[in-house]
Chain A
């Protein structure tokens, strides 16, 4: 009986103790997780990018157990449109994955938070300067780059031999790179009708896409006779006018040269052809590292024939750089956590992971130096171009308008429009659209 009494007492006290513990736990303020939202790219070549970012979130959550990252991924075009709309309606995600040239517009819209206090001068110096310039508006830094990009000329060595050009003669160093005028006779020679049906089968300079501000505008800007010349700048310093920048004598010369490639000399294809270099329909293309990686992955035989040379230019060498940046919404409920995540996504570990998964040239100097592939030819060309020749795309708060009018004009010029008239129309339309930023 005593034994039974004892055990009953023990059970009752255990119950009371457990209830007390539960009660204490209940009364403790539950530690809420901070939810950080993010929208990224998905689909096609971006699958590996999505995987890399998911891995970054896993590691970040491990290191910061009080943060829960909620990502969503969209196709590229949809992402940019969705982000633009969200910026306008003040409903952007906490960490805004901003396309480099749009950062200025987002800042102007008052949508981003400066991250100056999270970066020391030394930390900023770890990024290539063009990437820092892209994300710096009115002396404030808005977020680290995911990676960067640079253009180079990829060429088919075998085709060079077939037309009697020694591929070994092609300079691979920046200091003795061929200009557009030196490349032109080669492109003419390389453009061929191989089956005698009167149609061009191999283009000297292949085009896989319609003209864009990223890949085509550097050709025009390179007609500027010195760095900082109006043609090289391509927009006024305050980003509100292109008059006197895109319609200079040199810019017109550049647009005319661009048109002649398609219409007069017919060395470039008017209708874009996908995988034009990989499938042997062009002897050269101007493209990013992604083309080289695609050929290596999917056309291993062709990859053995490919060489890399610096991007051709007219008077001043130039390439556009920049990819996406991790910026922080001004309206986030958790500025500290969001800024911490943005900084984490731009750190050396993340940059290396992104390079391993996506293969795009990193925007961090330390990562660039630590990757063996960039220390030797051919990928060294991309690294050196990025470090020496790269600049941000023209910086204007009205980049969407700028891009639309300039790209349309370049398309029309490619298709044979009168160069002077079309440039005049483009300048008029662009300036009219950018005027509102001047007045504000």
Chain B
């Protein structure tokens, strides 16, 4: 009896020691997360109830005045709308394009390596440098894009200065920049599908399209979900290309939520109000991600 108790005690002690070591291993990372992630979020939440200005450093409590201002500001609603438009365009374009490229690359062929490098190269290019180059390419007078249009007899387009074209032009740049990243993820998902499924489908007489819809698509649903969620989050967070290419213009057509936050916090120096916008953006993203994960939850295991 006594030996059983002492054995149990020793096991318990071993468990605790193991837990302790576990915590010790994650502690450095945990401290980093708490200081650099959790604390700024908590602080931003508190600042959203103040009139904090970067110059004055005066975090005076003003209750829900910032929230009232936000919900009565047409600029806020327009930036939300622009963000959703951008996210919708980007996610659709990037996911479809990445999937198509990944399917082509998986097939193999003589140019696979070259295509893979070409597609992935923009991912490792500096975002600011790429945005500067695209801005020049879109220029109505010097831009190469207009050069091509003129060469085939089409009129010059004011891509970044046009209210209707600025957002799609910006989206095209970002899709070009990021599609390689999604391609790599899709490729790893596609390569993980066992060949037997395709062989079985072929035996059952399924053609390539049927194989795609009934084998490939259900089996990469998890990868697809990951790409959609991550692209959506990236889309909400985009700032660099907007800053370099359009500065939110023309007429607010590209003033995405994060750029609006940046402008409010670091140009108008209204960090309190900018924190309010950040809190709302966080909530939107959280709700969005939650529903996306639920909707795209994979029912197929292999």
- Interface residue ranges, A against B (CB under 8 Å): 81, 84-85, 87-90, 102, 105-106, 108-109, 197-199, 210, 270-271, 273, 281, 400-401, 403-405, 408, 411-412, 415-417, 425, 429, 432-433, 436
Known A-B contacts A199-B156, A412-B249, A412-B250; the reply to A85 vs B54 at CB < 8 A is: yes
B141 an interface residue at 8 Å Cβ cutoff? yes
B118 an interface residue at 8 Å Cβ cutoff? no
Pairwise interchain contact B251-A412, C-beta atoms closer than 8 A: yes
A-B contact pairs, 16 of them (CB 8 A): A81-B266, A85-B54, A87-B57, A88-B54, A105-B56, A109-B57, A210-B247, A270-B158, A400-B55, A400-B269, A408-B263, A411-B250, A415-B249, A417-B251, A425-B75, A433-B270
Known A-B contacts A210-B247, A273-B141; the reply to A404 vs B161 at CB < 8 A is: no
B140 an interface residue at 8 Å Cβ cutoff? yes
CA distance A199 to B155 in the complex (A): 9
Known A-B contacts A109-B57, A273-B141, A404-B263; the reply to A415 vs B163 at CB < 8 A is: yes
Pairwise interchain contact B55-A109, C-beta atoms closer than 8 A: yes
Pairwise interchain contact B54-A415, C-beta atoms closer than 8 A: no
Nearest 3 CB-CB pairings of A with B: A88-B57, A415-B250, A404-B268
- Measured CB to CB, the closest approach of chain A to B124, in angstroms, equals 25
The prevalent SS among residues of A at the interface is helix
Q: Mark B23-61, 1 if CB is under 8 A from A, else 0.
A: 000000000000000000000000000010111110010
Pairwise interchain contact B161-A271, C-beta atoms closer than 8 A: yes
Interface size class, chain B: 20 to 34
B210 an interface residue at 8 Å Cβ cutoff? no
Pairwise interchain contact B252-A412, C-beta atoms closer than 8 A: yes
Pairwise interchain contact B57-A89, C-beta atoms closer than 8 A: yes
B10 an interface residue at 8 Å Cβ cutoff? no
- Measured CB to CB, the closest approach of chain B to A422, in angstroms, equals 8
Pairwise interchain contact A401-B150, C-beta atoms closer than 8 A: no
B69 an interface residue at 8 Å Cβ cutoff? yes
Pairwise interchain contact A415-B161, C-beta atoms closer than 8 A: yes
- Measured CB to CB, the closest approach of chain A to B247, in angstroms, equals 7
Residues of B within 8 A of A429 (CB): 73, 75
Known A-B contacts A84-B55, A109-B56; the reply to A415 vs B251 at CB < 8 A is: yes
Closest to B62 in A: A436
CA distance A30 to B12 in the complex (A): 64
Q: Mark B126-164, 1 if CB is under 8 A from A, else 0.
A: 000000000000011100000000100001101011010
Q: Which of B73, B163, B249 has the most C-beta atoms of chain A within 10 angstroms of its own C-beta?
A: B249
- Measured CB to CB, the closest approach of chain A to B58, in angstroms, equals 8
- Measured CB to CB, the closest approach of chain A to B138, in angstroms, equals 9
Pairwise interchain contact B250-A400, C-beta atoms closer than 8 A: no
Residues of B within 8 A of A404 (CB): 263-264, 267-268
Pairwise interchain contact B158-A271, C-beta atoms closer than 8 A: yes
- Measured CB to CB, the closest approach of chain B to A347, in angstroms, equals 29
CA distance A125 to B249 in the complex (A): 43
Residues of A within 8 A of B3 (CB): none
Known A-B contacts A108-B56, A109-B56, A415-B250; the reply to A401 vs B269 at CB < 8 A is: yes
CA distance A139 to B125 in the complex (A): 53
Pairwise interchain contact A88-B158, C-beta atoms closer than 8 A: no
Residues of A within 8 A of B158 (CB): 270-271
CA distance A403 to B270 in the complex (A): 12
- Measured CB to CB, the closest approach of chain A to B165, in angstroms, equals 12
Pairwise interchain contact A106-B55, C-beta atoms closer than 8 A: yes
- Measured CB to CB, the closest approach of chain B to A330, in angstroms, equals 13
Residues of B within 8 A of A433 (CB): 268, 270
B241 an interface residue at 8 Å Cβ cutoff? no
CA distance A42 to B253 in the complex (A): 33
Known A-B contacts A197-B150, A210-B247; the reply to A425 vs B74 at CB < 8 A is: yes
Pairwise interchain contact A84-B250, C-beta atoms closer than 8 A: no
Residues of A within 8 A of B69 (CB): 432
Residues of A within 8 A of B160 (CB): 271
Q: Which of A90, A271, A401, A412 contacts B270 (CB 8 A)?
A: A401
- Measured CB to CB, the closest approach of chain A to B29, in angstroms, equals 28
- Measured CB to CB, the closest approach of chain B to A406, in angstroms, equals 11
Q: Mark B248-289, 1 if CB is under 8 A from A, else 0.
A: 111110000000000110111110000000000000000000
Pairwise interchain contact A401-B249, C-beta atoms closer than 8 A: no
- Measured CB to CB, the closest approach of chain A to B48, in angstroms, equals 15
Pairwise interchain contact A416-B251, C-beta atoms closer than 8 A: yes
Residues of B within 8 A of A198 (CB): 155
CA distance A209 to B92 in the complex (A): 34
Q: Which of B57, B268, B270 has the most C-beta atoms of chain A within 10 angstroms of its own C-beta?
A: B268
Residues of A within 8 A of B51 (CB): 436
Within 8 A of A (CB), among B182-216: none
Residues of B within 8 A of A412 (CB): 249-252
CA distance A432 to B249 in the complex (A): 22
Residues of A within 8 A of B269 (CB): 84, 400-401
CA distance A102 to B60 in the complex (A): 21
Q: Mark B64-77, 1 if CB is under 8 A from A, else 0.
A: 00000100011100
Residues of B within 8 A of A84 (CB): 54-55, 269
